[in-house]
Amino acid sequence: MAYPDDVRYTQEHEWARQEGDLLVIGITNYATDQLGDVVFVELPEVGKVVEVGKTFGVVEAVKTVSDLYAPVAGTIAEVNGALGDNPALVNQEPYGDGWMIKLRPSDPNAFAKLLSNSDYEKLVEESH
């Protein structure tokens, strides 16, 4: 499985991509492969403050459920409303239209501390 190099990763299988002052956040293709078909994503309200490593939402798949964890601390700037009608976007394009939230990080340097794609790949391999 290949992991794109234009995003950084967490050990909870989220990814984050820099977009101006914001971080776009979603879950990895490894996560969607583990979960199976996503049927619902519960996302926070815009303006909510989230702490690093704390849950910001829930992803329901047919067979299982998983919490979503904030890769960095910050404030929710936008959520992906398209997932309401079409949660399958998470499976189809986990790094594209399946994004979940945009976050304004409280520490601009936090992003750089997330895992690189090669570190993430190593982590996934070690868990097998």
Partner 1 sequence: MEPSTVVRRTPFYDYHRDAGARLVDFAGFEMPVRYTGDVREHLAVRNGVGLFDITHMGEFEVRGEGAQAYLDQVVTNHVGGLAVGQALYSPMCRPDGGIVDDLLVYRYADHYMVVVNASNMAKDFAWMESQCPTGVTLGDRSAETALLAIQGPKAAEMLRPHVPAEALELGYYRFMTGTLFGAPATISRTGYTGEDGFELYFDVKYAQAVWKGVMAAGTPLGLELIGLGARDTLRLEMGYMLYGNDIDDVTTPLEAGLGWTVKLQKGDFTGRDVLVKQKAEGLKKKLVGFTLEGRRVPRHGMAIHVGGKVVGVVTSGTFSPSLERPIGMGYVEVAHAATGTALEIMAGGTALPARVTARPFYTRGSHKS
Integer Rg of the chain from CA? 13
Decide if residue 40 touches partner 1 (CB under 8 A).
Answer: yes
DSSP H helices, the chain, are 29-35, 82-85, 89-92, 117-126
Distance, CA of 81 to CA of 50 (rounded, Å): 19
Size of the site for partner 1 (CB under 8 A): 15
Decide if residue 19 touches partner 1 (CB under 8 A).
Answer: no
**From the list 12, 42, 97, 119, which residue makes contact with partner 1 (rule: CB under 8 A)?**
42
- Window of 2-10, 18-26, 60-68, 72-80 that interacts with partner 1 by CB under 8 A: 60-68
Decide if residue 54 touches partner 1 (CB under 8 A).
Answer: no
| Greatest distance between any 2 Cα atoms in the chain | 38
